Amino acid sequence: MRFKQFISATSIALALSLGLPHAAQAAFPSEVNGKELPSLAPMLQNVIQGVVNIATEGKKEASQLANPFLDDPIFKHFFNIPEHNQRPQPTQSLGSGVIVDAKKGYIATNNHVIAKADKITVTLRDGRHFTAKVIGADEESDIAVIQIPADNLKAVPMTDSDKLKVGDYVVAIGNPFGLGQTVTSGIVSALGRSGLGIESYEDFIQTDASINPGNSGGALVNLHGELVGINTAILSRSGANIGIGFAIPINMANKIMTQLIEHGEIRRGRLGVYIQDLTPDLARAFDIKKHQGAVVSRVSPGSSAEKAGIKDGDIIVSLDGKPIKNASSLRNKVGLLPIGKEVELGVLRDGKLRTIDAVIGEPQLEKQQAKALHQRLEGAVLGELEENHPLFGKVDGVVVLDVQQGTPAWTSGLRKNDVITSANRKSVKSLADLKKAVGSKDRGILLNIRRGNGALFLLLQ
């Protein structure tokens, strides 16, 4: 009722101000003083053709669907629940995607939209349906590329997302709650958001354009209809939009997509430096006025960093002319570069800025079968914590590179990407430290594990 009264009053006011013949005959004008009222419709007519709806079908264990605790390895071990106690049940999910190459049928989306899917169905704006195949997916950045055998596609043009500014108007397009293609608008609320724990590599565009479940993988475009980001996540306690949404910048996404299309996977390189944030206390200790950068705490022997002449105590403040805010910023930028890429580093040493050229090298992971260290670790493959791990620079420890299902390590609760920070209450910084800490193979092992943003103890008996 109040809404109708508001519209009526507004119509009368417009009629009076525009000199229309009678308020009762008034309607909202399409133009004022001979000029059309602003509208996003002309821009959207082209863009919405390049945004697709994605539906997936897969399977999941019935125990996982019924109770999330039954998917917890510690819970299973404690109550002696077998790994595969029920038949897998079908699952379905919905999301969005953006056509990035019309000729080849490439579509960009989020990894979590298509992960573990047995069948991916893409629905175009014109109603056509296609079964898509996965070209490549990267869990750490949450970017995937799929392909459909379709003609007459229209791609969304990309632009330089580095030119975005806080306050720029943006439009989000996707498939929220499975309703069908939906358009919302807002502004860029913030740039360079990281440390949220959503993905391993984070450099998000934050926007108040409404993003809801189902929008994942959809387009974030500017008012020119150019793609600036891939909608990915929201911050919400209820699961619905509260005005805080996040999109992966298209510059970042494009680098990932290029590697996925060329190689089917991401080949992340390394510099070979252990780094930490430049805090105000460290800045004072180094007697510098700079408050942003990544402090090199150690240089790996034989690494690209050592060959380039980087030393312990150097502060990396830029990469290829772009500022480095902290350790996470450097890790993100290096993690997006292909192996063999030459980079120019801005480095503070003894208070003086210098330029150092380096080459992104191949990972030099030292791998070891954990069974050689202790029989209760059988089934796990361990290695040194390297730059491509999400906890690199945040903790010291040994990383679990892989765990074979059904082995003692798996049954005890160890999982891939876990970081062992201590064993039997002794700090672990390397494989050699872990070997000393586990001691006799007849004893049990108490491990302190970092997993994502959490931590836990595992007792291997």
Residue 142 is among the residues annotated as catalytic for this protein: yes
| Residue 146 backbone phi and psi in degrees, to 5 | -120, 165
- Count the residues in the chain: 461
**E strands, 404-461, in order:** 419-423, 426-427, 445-451, 454-460
Collapse the DSSP code of 344 into the 3-class scheme (helix H, G, I; strand E, B; otherwise coil) and give the result: strand
From the candidates 63, 93, 96, 112, which is the catalytic residue? Answer: 112
Q: Which amino acid is at 101?
A: D
Terminal alpha carbon distance of the chain = 69
> Would you call 418 a catalytic residue per the annotation?
no
CB contact at 8 A, 137 and 144? yes
What is the phi-psi region of residue 456: left when phi exceeds 0, alpha when psi lies from -120 to 50, beta otherwise? beta
Adjacent-strand bridge partners of 63: none
Q: Is 112 a catalytic residue?
A: yes
Q: Which two tokens stand for residue 103?
A: 């000729």
In the chain, how long is the greatest CA-to-CA distance?
A: 97
3-class SS at 176?
Answer: helix
The Cβ of residue 218 has, within 10 Å, a number of other Cβ atoms equal to 33
Nearest by Cα to 412 from 445, 383, 368:
445
What residue type is assigned to position 340 of the chain?
Answer: G
Helices (H), 61-182: 62-66, 73-78, 111-114
**Catalytic site residue from 216, 329, 412, 422:** 216
Tell me the C-alpha distance between 216 and 227, whole Å. Answer: 15
Which of these is catalytic: 138, 142, 418, 433?
142
Beta-ladder partners of 88: 61
Catalytic residues: 112, 142, 216
